[in-house]
Amino acid sequence: MKRVQTSSLDISRHLNSRRLEQEVENRTAYTIDTAELNIYETHHIAKQVELTFNTPVLASMIRGKKVMHLPGTPSFDFLPGESVIVSGQETMRIDFPEAQTLNPTQCLALAIAPDKVKQVTDLLNDRAPLVDNTQGWQFGQHNFFLTNDVPIHQLITRLIYIFTENNKAKEVFANLVLQELVVRLMQTQARSLLLGPDTTFSNMNRLAYVAQYINKHLHRNLQIRELADEACMSEPHFYRTFKQTFGMTPVDYINQQRITLASKLLKTTNRCLADVSLECGFNNLTYFMKLFRREIGLSPAQYRKQVVV
């Protein structure tokens, strides 16, 4: 799945109307019944600035750089194109190492009412329950860092537009987008936990086990029937459950992992494109090159030339 490399979040309407009253974390809030969008700006270097929300919050960088300190988590750089879900009542301590008057650090924080979150999670738990998971879908129970993919980036951009627009139907528009955003964020977190390199979950979750199985057999022609058998599910049930849980089809996941492997081989070996294609499970070189360009934005040859120094 394509990632957003740099931020293009448009806050121009906000900048035209907001008032600057503080130089550190100057806050402008846009509020509806179910959520509050806060946009923060910092105009000079600062350290250990504390920020706490009563409810789970999605923080997304717009411009500049922060260093985030969250309880129980190693400090990390926070850059445009990235987001973090922070649990309610959790204090963020933030450094602003590069903020300047002419180059302010800008960030948004979207706090969503617990009732709204529960409405979405109840809907998913009813219509698309998680397999091998007794807790079900949850949002904001644990801190979670992510790089925005294209759909999440677009939804955040849409919410900024809705919150800063003077439209009588703002509540209706915002709630529709909020619902999709919460679902996609939970799917992203599920992908990170169950489809990641950590094999901890493979002994407890059938979908995580299948993900590990896929990664071990990328060179082979993998069929949905085979994967469904490994998950002890029927083909339709496996396909539907995989897509509902992770927001992508099994085929999309297989191709994503194959392109990731191809990128690694192009970077670390001098093997020809045909060999790389076969090693990654592509029997058709033309299709491999087309898919690689679509996912990475460069041809395999261009990618190798760019990353190999």
Say which CATH topology domain 198-309 has: Arc Repressor Mutant, subunit A (1.10.10)
pLDDT band at 91 (very low <50, low <70, confident <90, very high): very high
Residue 86 pLDDT: 95
CA atoms of 72 and 82, how far apart (whole Å): 20
CA atoms of 70 and 76, how far apart (whole Å): 9
Residue 221 pLDDT: 93
Residue 309 pLDDT: 55
Q: What is the mean pLDDT of residues 95-114?
A: 95
Residue located via tokens 């915002």: 174
Is the separation of the CB atoms in 66 and 41 below 8 Å? Answer: no
**pLDDT above 90 for 198:** no
Torsion angle, CA of 156/161/164/166, rounded to 10 degrees?
Answer: -140
Is the separation of the CB atoms in 113 and 55 below 8 Å? Answer: yes
CA atoms of 92 and 97, how far apart (whole Å): 16
Q: What is the mean pLDDT of residues 50-69?
A: 95
CATH number for domain 12-193, candidates 3.40.50.1970, 3.40.640.10, 1.10.3720.10, 2.60.120.280: 2.60.120.280
pLDDT band at 9 (very low <50, low <70, confident <90, very high): confident
**pLDDT above 60 for 216:** yes
Best CA proximity match to 251, nearest among 302, 284, 285, 210: 210
CA atoms of 275 and 284, how far apart (whole Å): 11
Residue 18 pLDDT: 75
Where does CATH 2.60.120.280 sit in the chain? 12-193
Write out pLDDT tens, residues 131-185. Answer: 999 899 999 988 999 999 999 999 999 999 999 999 999 999 999 999 999 999 9
Q: Which two tokens stand for residue 95?
A: 């450094």
CA atoms of 98 and 77, how far apart (whole Å): 12
Residue 238 pLDDT: 97
Q: State the average pLDDT for the chain.
A: 92
Residue 20 pLDDT: 64
pLDDT band at 300 (very low <50, low <70, confident <90, very high): very high
Is the separation of the CB atoms in 233 and 245 below 8 Å? Answer: no
Where does CATH 1.10.10.60 sit in the chain? 198-309
pLDDT band at 210 (very low <50, low <70, confident <90, very high): very high
